[in-house]
Structure 1
Amino acid sequence: MADELELLRRADPVPADGPHFGDGPLDHRAEHRLERLLHEDPPRRRLRLLPPLPGRTPRSRLVWGLAATAAVLAVAVNAVLGGPNTPRAVAAPRPLSVRAHSAPVPLKEMVALADAAATGGSPELRKGTHVQSWSLSMSDGKRPVTVPEERVVRWRADATHTEVVVATDPRHPGRPVLTDGGDDPHEVADGHVISRTTYPPMWNDAPPEGTPPHTAARLRAYLTEIARPQVDRGTSPLSTVELFDAVGELLDHWTLGAPESAALVRLFAKAEGLRPAGEVTDRLGRPGHAYVYDTGDVRRMLILDPRTGTVLGVETTFTRDQPQYGVRAGAVMEYSAWMR
């Protein structure tokens, strides 16, 4: 390896006395090469590095050494500037981790806390939502990417409402953000407004637009109507998966008051297979108690406010590899954090 190491030592891409590599601007030739580096097709930049085989001539070792040097430079440029297949936006979030040695709190205790918080009647139920989400965008033949968005829906007294969707990731303020934007994923500036829509007056009594009740029995019927629309709902109780899905729909339309949150905690306390896991800090920095439910290839985690039982967020992660989409076990499929 002596020849290769010597070549790498001599291949200084930025010599100290180079006239065009200081703090000043690049010359025209350098700008042209940088433009090609950033935009040419990936297959033309892909390098295969093979170790020298026995019997190779010095010339073949020289070619390998130069290829290794080029690969080092390509990796360095991608790390700093990012290539067409390496977005500079922040990486996908890791699954929330339960705090070590934290004591799991049974849901029955959370019911008592939520009931106590509801006696004051505050906060009150409000139509509309404020939610930050991270969603994994998957499609055949394309690498999966995580799209972070903040959505604010506000209703007026005349039954009109506005919806604003912004590309932002509060974990890394000011960093570029990936967005689908109805096209292939691409980077936008943090805070980029994806859409701003005003809707005409709307009146609908059916869930989830209709006002949610504040007793557990009636709220269960309300959520059943969300989970099983336009079908024979039967008499079977909501499954835990149906409960999670229906609650997501509910919280994407309403900001619950204390009585509604207390009724919801009662439903979660009776959900089959939902078990306490311990304390977590959600992606907005809020402390919470975590409850997990495993089914099939995914795990759902419910995060409740430790003082009031209010739903802070729901995280869904893969527990098995999804090779058809290039997704590994542990990837966050979706995470929603609701705010007032």
Structure 2
Amino acid sequence: MRWTPDGRHTELVVATDPRHPGRPVLTDEDGEPRLVDDGKVISRQDFPPSWSDAPPAARPPYDPARLRAHLAETVRTETPSTPELLDATQQLLDHWTLGARESAALARLLADAEGLRPVGEVTDRLDRPGQAYVYDDHSGVRHMLILDPSTGAVLGLELTFTTDQPEYGVRAGDVMQYSAWLR
């Protein structure tokens, strides 16, 4: 492993037998045992900066760019789509109660999410006033994010069907999933 100051690292796997330097080494790369030259690079993989080995359990950063990278790592993609960001947000909030700085960073990050649009004031399922933002995906599901209008903290995330799906006994408007967080 080779680490950089910003937390990125590269994993380099090289065929070698320290007991017999310079001699060929047996490897099972690609599932087939064969001899390779000592020092042959078997694999090289670069990893992005990480705040732990297991996000979202790692403490979330309060800088929007670093928080985006943290959420991207949670859903295992470099450029998460809006639904993936919302899924990562749910995972994050299931592990952490965000402070004011982290909540502000998350609100700034989600404000730039493509396709997430404001729909106005709502009362969430716990009878709290909130500001709703929705994203309609291509599978007939609406993602609704509810933020506290005074603090920007996420109050809830709701998934609702936007089309009838009779094969599942579902009608447009049926709630598929709802998560709420208390502070």
* TM-score, with structure 2 as normaliser: 0.69
Q: 1:257 to 1:205 in 2, by over 3 A?
A: farther
Report the secondary structure of 1:255's partner residue.
coil
Who wins on radius of gyration, i.e. which is larger? 1
Match of 2:55 in 1: 207
Question: Is the CA contact 1:316–1:334 (under 8 Å) kept in the aligned structure 2?
Answer: yes
Q: Mark the runs of 5 or more structure 1 residues left unpaired by the alignment.
A: 1-203
Following TM superposition, the consecutive aligned residue runs of length 4 or more in structure 1 with deviations greater than 4 angstroms are none
Match of 1:169 in 2: none
Is residue 284 from structure 1 mapped to residue 126 from structure 2 by the alignment? yes
Match of 1:336 in 2: 179
CA distance in 1, matches of 2:54, 2:117: 31
CA distance in 2, matches of 1:255, 1:324: 38
* Greater relative CO, 1 or 2 (CA 8 Å, sep 6+): 1
Is residue 258 from structure 1 mapped to residue 106 from structure 2 by the alignment? no
Q: Which has the higher strand share?
A: 2
Q: How does 1:1-340 map to 2 (within 5 A)?
A: 205-228=53-76, 233-234=77-78, 237-296=79-138, 297-340=140-183
CA distance in 2, matches of 1:327, 1:270: 32
Q: What displacement does 1:321 show?
A: 1.2
CA distance in 2, matches of 1:205, 1:286: 36
Q: What displacement does 1:325 show?
A: 1.1
Report the secondary structure of 2:145's partner residue.
strand
Deviations 1:139-183 (A, max 9, x none): xxxxxxxxxxxxxxxxxxxxxxxxxxxxxxxxxxxxxxxxxxxxx
Q: Which has the higher helix share?
A: 1
Q: Mark the runs of 5 or more structure 2 residues left unpaired by the alignment.
A: 1-51
Report the secondary structure of 1:224's partner residue.
helix
Q: What displacement does 1:315 show?
A: 0.8
Report the secondary structure of 1:244's partner residue.
helix
Question: Is the CA contact 1:205–1:211 (under 8 Å) kept in the aligned structure 2?
Answer: no
Q: Which amino acid aligns with 2:75?
A: A
* Percent of aligned pairs sharing the same letter: 69
